[in-house]
Amino acid sequence: LHRATAVMGAAPSGGRVMVWRAEAAASTPIRGGAADVSSFLDSLADSDFIVRADDSVVSCEPAARQGGGGGGEGEAGRYVAAIAPLRLPGLTVRPTAFIRVDRLSDGGLRYTTERVDNAFEGSFRGLAERVTPTITAATTLRAEERCLAAEAEFELTMPLPSWWPIPAPAMDAGGALISRLVEKDTRVSLERVIGEYEARRGAAAAGGAEQQQGGGVRADE
């Protein structure tokens, strides 16, 4: 399931605001009970795996601890990620995202883009640097009955001067592009998380089998 909208509205300070929104949802059958999957998701909250699993993330590192006392040490649950470029008609956006990872009370996990710093290229670079587009995004993972489900939301807001024309085809093309990116990122992230879950499950099973075999040898002796 995925959908996108592209709307143009009036900005409070004058001019216009162009907004592209996209949502995506996916679920995949998974072995193990909901409690096992929730425990696995809880363990991911203590690492950067969930951030790196996002297909749009090129690289990430722990965010510098705020307050000046960290000496470069990472702040738990917060990361800085280089994001794959977003190529729009006449404009390429290269974002650096500041992402927070949260445990949810229902056993799920959410990673939220708190802030994005953008670098721009293309014919509309000068305009983009003046209008400062805003990107917000969040993805939630939850264990459901015999499956792992993901829901993602993405929004790109760009204030524009009233004189700048936005052809309808450009609006539609931008919305379709963002929809495809969000759908792909959600699907690939879910696949990678499930792959990690299955790998840990297999390693645990193998370790248990080795212990049983070792115990049998000692008993025979």
Distance CA 88, CA 20 (A): 11
Q: Are 86 and 74 spatial neighbours (Cβ–Cβ below 8 Å)?
A: no
Secondary structure class of 82 (helix, strand, coil): strand
* pLDDT tens track for 186-221: 999 999 999 999 999 888 777 665 666 655 544 444
Q: Are 91 and 123 in contact (CB under 8 A)?
A: yes
Compute the distance between CA of residue 190 and CA of residue 217 in angstroms, rounded to an integer.
41
Query: With 60 as the cut, is the pLDDT of residue 12 above it?
Result: no
Q: Is the pTM of this model over 0.85?
A: no
Q: What is the pLDDT of residues 17-51, one digit of tens each?
A: 788 889 999 999 988 878 888 889 999 988 899 99
Angle between helical axes of 34-44 and 168-220 (0-180°, round to 10): 110
Rounded Cα–Cα distance for residues 18 and 9 (Å): 7
**pLDDT value of position 217:** 45
What's the pLDDT band for 62 if we cut at 50, 70, 90?
very high
So what's the pLDDT on residue 66? 53
Q: Are 138 and 112 a contacting pair, CB within 8 Å?
A: yes
Cβ proximity of 212 and 204 under 8 Å = no
Label residue 51 exposed, middle or buried (CB < 10 Å: 0-12, 13-18, 19+): buried
Please state, rounded to an integer, the average pLDDT across all residues of the chain. Answer: 80
Please state, in angstroms and as integers, the Cα–Cα distance from residue 50 to each residue in 54, 60, 150, following that order: 7, 11, 12
